[in-house]
Amino acid sequence: MSRRIAAVQYTSVSDPDKNKRALSVLIAEAASQQADLVLLPEMCLSMNSDYYHELAQDCATLEWLGAQAAAHSLWLVAGAVPQPAPGNDPRVRSASLVFNPQGELVTRYDKIHLFDVEVGDAQGSYRESDTFSPGNDIVSIETPVGNIGLTICFDLRFPEQYQALRDAGADIILIPAAFTHTTGEAHWEILLKARAIETQCYVLAANQCGWHDDKRRTWGHSMIVGPWGDTLGMLHESPGVIVADVDLTELANVRKKMPLTRS
């Protein structure tokens, strides 16, 4: 039996409440298209670091996300939401949060690879490690949709993480992102298809899009890629929703015809 997955693309602003109102509409749109699992983009609740500690400490953040999942009886993955860092670290974690159809938080993945780069766009330099503490653990979870592997944005450039998820049994790998316009235009689609082909997994990628302020611009082009590297759906540079069906029988056929596992 096939299941339907969806990616939400949005232009998050600073105000978390404004973002929640817009995201609730897009989640409802995905639900209306019979999505069983919905992925939100990275930092979907705010693109302004001034709000990150507040979001990390506010229980209402998790309650709102859980309520969205329960209201539509679907699996909801909040691409990256600030969460407290362990110990005495004053930073936060960039966490992918998975809610089941009952609205329960069932697992969390903390972003491993932080975006400390020189891009050459209007923003220029990005230093995520100033704000975020890196995670350490590879995370996947078994769901009725399939075995879901969790990654976030810059992780996309590290194929060993994706191979580890495939080795752990992943069928579908999720990539919530805020890929910049500059790097997205150059590498986004190529990297998504490479990760899908290498792992023989479905890839579900939800990206931010458009201008978030006078310096920060993201690429959009959220995609769903099949295990053969075929494009099953793609948006452009405006907010929206894409859906595609996951067929685990077809996934098994691809892997049987071209075995790549290290066994």
Catalytic residues: 42, 111, 153
Task: Tell me the residue type at 114.
Answer: L
Task: Tell me the residue type at 5.
Answer: I
Helix (H, G, I), strand (E, B) or coil at 178: coil
**Per the structure block, which two tokens stand in for 14?**
């600073």
Instruction: Identify how many contiguous H helices and E strands the chain contains and give both numbers.
Output: 7, 16
Closest CA to 4 of 27, 45, 37: 37
The residue behind tokens 């790549």 is: 260
Asked whether 8 and 27 are in contact (CB, 8 A), the reply is yes
**Per the structure block, which two tokens stand in for 156?**
């996309």
Number of CB atoms found within 10 A of residue 241's CB: 24
